[in-house]
Structure 1
Amino acid sequence: MAVLRVRFTKTQRDRLAQVLWLLNWISVVTGLILFSLGLFLKVEINKRRELMAKQEVHSVPDMLIAVGLIACVINFVGGKICYDCVDTNKFLRWKLVMLPYIICTFFFTLCVLVGALMCYTMHGELKESLALGLQDAIRYYKDTDTPGRCFLKSTVDLLQIQFQCCGNAGHRDWFQIQWISTRYLDMSKREVVDRLRSNVEGKYLVDGVPFSCCNINSPRPCIQYQITNNSAHFNYDYQTEELNLWNKGCHQALVEYFTYIMHSIGLIVLLIWLFELSVLTGVRYLQTALENVLLQGDPESESEGWLLENSFAETARSSFNIIKNLGKCNQIEAENGDPNVNRPCTAHYGPDNVPPKQMPVVS
């Protein structure tokens, strides 16, 4: 029994073909939107690539870019097919192409759905990548003379100013690393030498932060050095007073920023998937309705269209049998030992699959 059977008149079939032609051209535009969203996300990730430890996050924009380009091609072909399907005679040129086209479009819509889900499931991986990348970026903040790291200082400073954040998890992260380059330390001062010797690893650690951590909205001049020393500043209490530094950590700020972008893109891609699925459903109805017209032989007659010719269970069973027979075919060819010889999987002799009797040879 056919699934979701619908009866169409000649006028309804022509109208369906015209509407699908228009929707396929709209789908070309949605393909360009997918491509643009993937390109935008890739550019945003590349801007922060120095702050990310893992590069697997590029799989999401690459997926969207590829799906967008494929969408443009598939829907362009679909528009041409639907335009020709208004005329039953022109449909004959596309009859053998329609079913492979629908199957390819079905798997394409699945790829669109996967792309939408990836935008929602990459949160954990993105969070871990940013945590490790920011940790390394802060650690190498002082290495302005080291090739490959000389731009990290400006990158981190611009990040903290733009996102109004400080450190990885907070401003205390700067207390645990040496972020001042050794070339700017005055080794003639006893205070500097004592601080270096007091540390087991020989690092110059201070209770200070870079200037980019300063909150520009604070009425008080920025206190970025000796932050924990109350006596070093007038009318200052480190424990109770609100610091004039950014309170949010850069990891949290970046995760929120990219999460908002990816969830927004995921929602748009999900809507595009629903639109593509509706177009695919319409093309399937058009294909089956026109094939039934050809079987009836009257282009003006009514015809039925459906999504599946048989029920879901029967379709799944027949598909499984086809795959199983293909496996048997490969096994038989491997046992015969000559993969270059094309042999049929089964010999179709008749309705009972019984070979005919051999005729005697007359000498």
Structure 2
Amino acid sequence: MALLKVKFDQKKRVRLAQGLWLMNWLSVLTGIIVFSLGLFLKIELRKRSDVMSNSESHFVPNSLIGVGVLSCVFNSLAGKICYDAVDPTKYAKWKPWLKSFLIACVLFNITLFFVSLCCFLLRGSLESTLTHGLKNGMKYYRDTDTPGRCFMKKTIDMLQIEFKCCGNNGFRDWFEIQWVSNRYLDFSAKEVKDRIKSNVDGRYLMDSVPFSCCNPSSPRPCIQYQLTNNSAHYSYDHQTEELNLWVWGCRAALVSYYGSLMNSIGTVTLLVWLLEVTVTIGLRYLHTALDGVSNPEDPECERESEGWLLERSVLETWKAFLESLKQLGKSNQVDAQDEDAGQAPEAS
């Protein structure tokens, strides 16, 4: 028994075709929107590629760009089919392969749904990428004279200023790396020698941060050196005056920014998916309703026809699908046996 049968007369079939034509062109516009969102996200990720350890984060924007293009192609073609469905003679040329087109539409809808889910689920991967990328970026902060890394200081400084953050997890991350280049250190000074000797790796570490960590909203001038030495500054307590610096780590700031951006894009993509599912269901009804007309090329044909989603129930359709898979497996086994039997035995 067919699933969700609906009766259509000639007028209803024409209205369905016209409505689907409008919905398909609306879906073309939404496909352009999805493509644009994917392109925008890719550009935003490219801006921070220097502080990202790999290119896995570009899977989502690349997928959005791909499904956006496919949406425009599928819906443009479906719009043409719905436009020709009003004229039985024009519809006849689409009829032989319309079922295959509907299967392709279903596969596209499944892909679109998984892409929208990825927008919500890849936050953890993005966080891991930023953790390692920021750590490496801070390590190369001092290499202003090294080709390929000379831009890193500006990148980190602009990042901390724009996102009002400091370090990877916080400003104390700068205490663990040498962020001042050896070019600007006086190795004849006792203080420099003592600091280098006191570290196993021979690095010049200090309790200070770059200027870009300073919070301009602080009521006092920025203190960026000897942050943990209360006696080095008048009326200062490093445990209570953290407002002098940005206390938010850049990893959390970037994850929050990109996370909210990807959540918004994922919501839009889910809405587009609902529209695409509606259009596919409508195409299925139009297909089965027109197939039910005995002589669709007769313009005077006004008799009713039935449209449905599935020719049989969901359970029967699933059983038939599994049976077809079994038959396909058996046919492959028979072909393999025939090939083995057809080989001549080797002469002893």
Q: Single out whichever of 229-238 and 37-46 deviates more from structure 2.
A: 229-238
Q: How far, CA to CA, are the matches of 2:240 and 2:156 in structure 1?
A: 28
Aligned to 1:345: none
Displacement after TM superposition at 1:21 (Å) = 0.7
What one-letter code is carried by the residue in structure 2 that aligns with 1:26?
L
> Bigger shift: 203-212 or 297-306?
297-306
Match runs of 1:138-287 below 5 Å: 138-287=138-287
Name the structure 2 match of 1:313. Answer: 315
Match of 2:304 in 1: 302
Deviations 1:243-282 (A, max 9, x none): 4100111011000000000000000000000000000010
Distance 1:151 1:88 in 2: 65
Shift, 1:241, TM fit: 2.9
- The offset of 1:339, in angstroms, is 12
Which residue does the alignment assign to 1:27? 27
Measure how far apart 1:148 and its partner are.
2.1
Aligned positions, number: 340
Partner residue in 2 for 1:44: 44
Question: What secondary structure is seen at the aligned counterpart in 1 of 2:7?
Answer: strand
- Is the 1:163–1:253 Cα contact (8 Å) retained in structure 2? yes
**Structure-2 residue corresponding to 1:111:** 111
Q: In the alignment, is the contact (CA less than 8 A) between 1:21 and 1:82 conserved in 2?
A: yes
Instruction: Please state how far the C-alpha of 1:320 moved relative to its aligned partner.
Output: 1.5
- 5+ residue gaps, structure 1, are 341-363
Identity %: 55
Question: What SS does the aligned partner of 1:212 have?
Answer: helix
| Structure 2 residue aligned with 1:88 | 88
Q: Which whole-Å CA distance do the structure 1 matches of 2:199 and 2:96 have between them? A: 78
Cα deviation 1:303-330 (Å, max 9, x = unaligned): 1100001001111111112222122222
- Whether the aligned pair in 1 keeps the contact of 2:32 and 2:69 (CA below 8 Å) is yes
Q: Could you tell me the TM-score, scaled by structure 2's length? A: 0.95
User: 1:348 — aligned with what?
Assistant: none
Instruction: Give the root-mean-square deviation of aligned CA atoms.
Output: 1.6
Is the contact made by 2:5 and 2:306 (CA closer than 8 Å) also made in structure 1?
yes
SS in 2 for 1:209: coil
Aligned to 1:349: none
Per the TM alignment, residue 295 of structure 1 is displaced from its structure 2 partner at its CA by 6.3
Q: Name the amino acid aligned to 1:321.
A: E
Q: Which amino acid aligns with 2:301?
A: P
Give unpaired runs (5+ residues) of structure 2.
343-348
Q: Deviations over 1:194-218 (max 9, x none)?
A: 1111111100001100000000111
Q: Which moved more, 1:327-336 or 1:38-47?
A: 327-336
2-structure distance, mates of 1:7, 1:129:
55
1: CA distance, partners of 2:241 / 2:120: 39
Counterpart in 1 of 2:329? 327
Letter in 2 for 1:235: S
8 Å Cα contact 2:295/2:301 also seen in 1: no
Q: CA deviation at 1:88?
A: 2.2
User: In the aligned structure 1, how far is the partner of 2:105 from the partner of 2:208?
Assistant: 59
TM-score (norm 1): 0.91
Larger Rg: 1
Q: Alpha-carbon deviation of 1:226?
A: 0.7
Q: Distance in 2 between matches of 1:237 and 1:85?
A: 78
What is the alpha-carbon distance in structure 1 between the residues aligned to residue 101 and residue 137 of structure 2? 49
Give the whole-Å Cα distance in 2 for the aligned partners of 1:339 and 1:14: 57
SS in 1 for 2:94: helix
In structure 2, how many angstroms separate the alpha carbons of the residues matched to 1:81 and 1:33? 23
Alpha-carbon distance between aligned partners in 1 of 2:273 and 2:169, rounded to the nearest angstrom: 37
CA–CA distance in structure 2, aligned partners of residues 234 and 292 of structure 1? 90
